[in-house]
């Protein structure tokens, strides 16, 4: 059974599509694409249908990472459809948890909702900062954090799968 992973930020044009792209890139490198369904969404609807921010696409491209998704807004069904929802900051986390409460989605039936930075091992970070209003260095820093966190996430999910389904 495939693991379903959703990355969430505010507008789904910088951080969450970059996290999606970084995670997909790691899956390709480890030949694990067939074990996962990966997507991203925003808590807001301002950018629905648009590509990731040009500056983030360019920064990712320099690292060999392609960002091809189109922005979409988080929906209540996502709470049931995905196994893991990873948020970029405390505000995103609060909004996703609020959506779960508003829609009365029992925690036993919904995705595991948590901050993505929980999986960082090289960086100590409380959140993935929004680079939208900053310069190029902000986009690079976000990608550094995402590469660290997504690597840790992949290790954790692989470990989780191994514990649930030990090989004979």
Q: Kindly list the catalytic residues.
A: 9, 15, 130
Report the C-alpha gap between 26 and 126 in whole angstroms. 23
Backbone angles phi, psi at 91, to 5 degrees: -65, -45
Instruction: Decide if 87 contacts 116 (C-beta within 8 A).
Output: yes
Report the C-alpha gap between 96 and 47 in whole angstroms. 18
Of 36, 38, 42, the C-alpha closest to 75 is 42
Instruction: Decide if 13 contacts 60 (C-beta within 8 A).
Output: no
């Amino acid at each position: 059974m495939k693991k379903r992973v959703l990355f969430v930020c505010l507008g789904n044009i910088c951080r969450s599509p970059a996290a999606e792209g970084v995670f997909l890139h790691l899956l390709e490198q480890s030949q694990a694409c067939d074990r996962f369904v990966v997507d991203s969404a925003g808590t807001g609807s301002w950018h629905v249908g648009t590509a990731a921010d040009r500056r983030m696409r360019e920064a990712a491209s320099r690292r060999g990472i392609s960002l091809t998704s189109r922005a979409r807004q988080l929906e209540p069904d996502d709470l049931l459809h995905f196994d893991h929802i990873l948020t970029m900051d405390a505000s995103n986390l609060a909004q996703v948890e609020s959506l779960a409460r508003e829609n009365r989605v029992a925690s036993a039936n919904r995705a595991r909702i948590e901050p993505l930075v929980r999986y960082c091992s090289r960086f100590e970070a409380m959140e993935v900062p929004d680079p939208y209003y900053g310069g190029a260095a902000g986009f690079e820093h976000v990608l550094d954090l995402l590469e660290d966190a997504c690597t840790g996430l992949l290790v954790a999910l692989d470990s989780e799968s191994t514990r649930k389904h030990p090989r004979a």
